[in-house]
Amino acid sequence: MRNPSDVEIAGRLVAIISDGFNRSLGALEDAGAVNTKVMRKHYRGIGSKYYDLVTEQIVLTARYCAPSVRGLFAGGDPGPDAE
């Protein structure tokens, strides 16, 4: 098995975390827990205020977590959720 780089792992994590964020936000909105009407005015893709803010945090999270995920491939530290 190939050992992916932290950059490759972070790239995949960005896509995964973004999908999870969007699905969770939609579910919360559907459940009536949040009203995203105002937010959606500024969450319209790359370059929009809230989209860029969310994306920045997702990228930071992915970069932070990439070494831990890479450890799974290298047989090293399995991370904080291992039992």
Average pLDDT over residues 52-68: 93
Percent of the chain whose predicted confidence (pLDDT) is above 70: 88
Percent of the chain whose predicted confidence (pLDDT) is above 90: 49
Is residue 1 one of the residues assigned to a domain?
Answer: no
Is the pLDDT reported for residue 82 higher than 80? no
Is residue 32 one of the residues assigned to a domain?
Answer: yes
Please give the C-alpha separations between residue 46 and each of 1, 49, 51, 55, 77, in angstroms, as whole numbers.
35, 9, 6, 9, 35
Domain containing 52 equals: 6-74
- Number of domains the chain contains: 1
Encode burial over 53-69: b for 16+ CB neighbours within 10 A, e otherwise. Answer: ebbeebbeebbebbebb
If one compares 82 and 36, the residue with the highest pLDDT of the two is 36
Is residue 54 one of the residues assigned to a domain?
Answer: yes
